[in-house]
Amino acid sequence: MKVSEEKKYELLSPFEVKDKLIKIAKSHHERVMLNAGRGNPNWTAVTPRSGFFQLGIFATEESLRVVDMPVIGGAPEKNGIAKRFEQFLGKSTDVAGIKFLQMAYEYVRDELKIDPDGFVMEMVDAILGDHYPEPDRMLINCEKIVHKYLEQEKCVGISPAGRFDLFATEGGTAAMDYIFTSLMENKLLHKGDKIAIGTPIFTPYIEIPRLNDYKFIEVEIKQSEDSCWQYPDSEIQKLADPAVKAFFLVHPSNPTSVAMHPETLAKISELVRTKRKDLIIITDDVYGTFVDNFRSLASAVPENTILVYSFSKYFGATGWRLGVIGIHCDNVFDKMIAALPEKDKKELHERYHTVVLDPDKMKFIDRMVADSRSVALHHTAGLSTPQQVMMAFFSLFCLLDIKQEYKKVAQYIVAHRFKTLYDNIGIPPPENKYDAHYYTTIDIPRLAQQRFGKEFAGYLVKNFEPIDFVVKLSERKSVVLMDGGGFDAPNMSVRVSLANLPNATYGDIGKGISELLEEYHRHWQTSKSGPR
């Protein structure tokens, strides 16, 4: 690719650049393309899926109990359904998924104290998908189960008093869309407001604030590469500025894949408690399960935090589109809406008056549900009910896994690939107890300085476009990585996904990075010596 073309591609999102790199890499038919650009995991959680499909068999049997006509069943009946479910489980003890269903049923009944008939009826009706979601925000028992899971995985044993209201969504990206729409519609954010963004960050999260819908002024809260991608105190202090209306971050971060130090969480909590009681915090915690003893800002600052969690990465379920928004029942958002000027409250009353009898008392999260369907289509809001069953089953799978065997395996997979990659680059893998290892960001100029000296690193930065390294990597090695600069990581850095390729291929990627750097170095040495 020519320099002029590289300059053009630098204007695009790294996700769009990735598509071009794939085409380049595929054009070399003599080599196998290794695409570590996107973070789709190459594993799936099998046990809850097996349970899901067995439940589907029971549900169709229940449908045929009511109406048994050619190719037609009926809506299942609640009366006695738990007993019939127990009998179904007893007949098929050696079938994959049945043991999970038995354990999940007993856990819900004995630990969560949910009525057995109510639970089984909700699951059966939901997996059949024969009714609109009711409640539309989230099915009652699904919400209780997912709430328990989030407490376990996001609060590291420090669960805040009270509960979180949950809204099941079509993945984490839909959740973000709904959140920003409702923050704007409910006049909690306005065009031209300052919002802080924890960087480096998932590129679309940089792009959203710049859209005409929002036109936010961005204030970067920058992680320090020299401090293992932690937020320095000086950056956190930027949040003390009352002009900063919201703080938006991925935690653990993407692309750097590191969770915040507990001291940083404590400092943010103290800042909110003493100086910024009105600060809106939006945290995407999709990678939290890959860090031991992870604690979310939703646990540290529950009243101010909108939690977003997606089941996609941990359970290998990107195609399922399963996400959830959590907002504490005692939150600043409801209070801020109640304190709006009368003119604004009147406008919002008019917006939501067809949905509830008293829209002035409508919770922010319920307004979000209405906004997700442009209010007028509120009666069809909500995540598809079979998706909610899968979400509940993923949650129950981890709640039942007392020894956290699944977590150990998932964490081992990415950590092993992390080590393989760095061993083949030829440098020690960074050691950081807060590293999720789902991605890693490699600063190529820093690596160049470490291996060949400061003068060579300066030559790289001065003489090549920031995306030149990922372009040549695709051209010469058929390795596709993402440009870190597009995530607001250092220029000419690369993001490697450690989730989506077989373990051994990360050795090939590491060698490819190392060999390409050596090629740049040879070119530099030749240019220094001049023509012979």
Q: Tell me: the pLDDT tens digits for 355-404?
A: 999 999 999 999 999 999 999 999 999 999 999 999 999 999 999 999 99
**Looking at residue 236, what is its pLDDT?**
98
Name which of 271, 237, 279, 317 is nearest 499 in CA terms.
317
pLDDT at 30 over 70: no
**Looking at residue 93, what is its pLDDT?**
85
Residue range 164-382 forms a domain whose CATH class is alpha beta
The least confident of 198-212, 266-280, 445-459 is 198-212
Other beta carbons within 10 angstroms of residue 385's beta carbon come to 22
Residue range 421-449, pLDDT digits in tens: 999 999 999 999 999 999 999 999 999 99
pLDDT band at 11 (very low <50, low <70, confident <90, very high): low
For strands 244-250 and 280-284, give the pairing: parallel
Residue range 54-109, pLDDT digits in tens: 999 999 999 999 887 778 999 999 999 999 999 999 998 889 999 999 999 999 99
Residue range 110-169, pLDDT digits in tens: 999 999 999 999 999 999 999 999 999 999 999 999 999 999 999 876 778 889 999 999
Average pLDDT in the chain: 93
- For domain 46-130, give its CATH number from 3.30.590.10, 1.25.40.20, 1.10.20.110, 3.40.630.30: 1.10.20.110
For the chain, what are the domain ranges?
Answer: 3-30+405-527, 46-130, 164-382
**Looking at residue 532, what is its pLDDT?**
40
Residue range 290-302, pLDDT digits in tens: 999 999 999 999 9
Residue range 237-252, pLDDT digits in tens: 999 999 999 999 999 9
Q: At what angle do helices 46-66 and 98-110 cross, to 10 degrees?
A: 80
Q: How far apart are the first and last CA of the chain?
A: 28
Residue range 309-364, pLDDT digits in tens: 999 999 999 999 999 999 999 999 999 999 999 999 999 999 999 999 999 999 99
pLDDT band at 29 (very low <50, low <70, confident <90, very high): low
- Residue 480, beta-bridge partner list: 35
Name which of 58, 344, 299 is nearest 164 in CA terms.
299
507, containing H or E segment = helix 505-529
**What CATH number should be reported for the domain whose range is 3-30+405-527?**
3.90.1150.10
What is the tally of helices (H) and strands (E) in the chain?
Answer: 21, 12
Ramachandran angles phi, psi of 306, nearest 5°: -100, 115
Residue range 456-504, pLDDT digits in tens: 999 999 999 988 999 999 999 999 998 888 888 889 999 999 999 999 9
CA 269/CA 246 separation, integer angstroms = 14
Residue-by-residue DSSP string for 349-412 = HHHHTTT-S-GGG--HHHHHHHHTTTTTTGGG-S--HHHHHHHHHHHHHHHH-TT-HHHHHHHH
**What percentage of the chain exceeds 90 in pLDDT?**
83
pLDDT at 531 over 60: no
Q: 281: which 2 tokens? A: 């915090």
CA 298/CA 281 separation, integer angstroms = 9
* Alpha carbon distances (Å) from 515 to 317, 504, 519: 35, 17, 6
Q: What is the pTM of this model?
A: 0.94
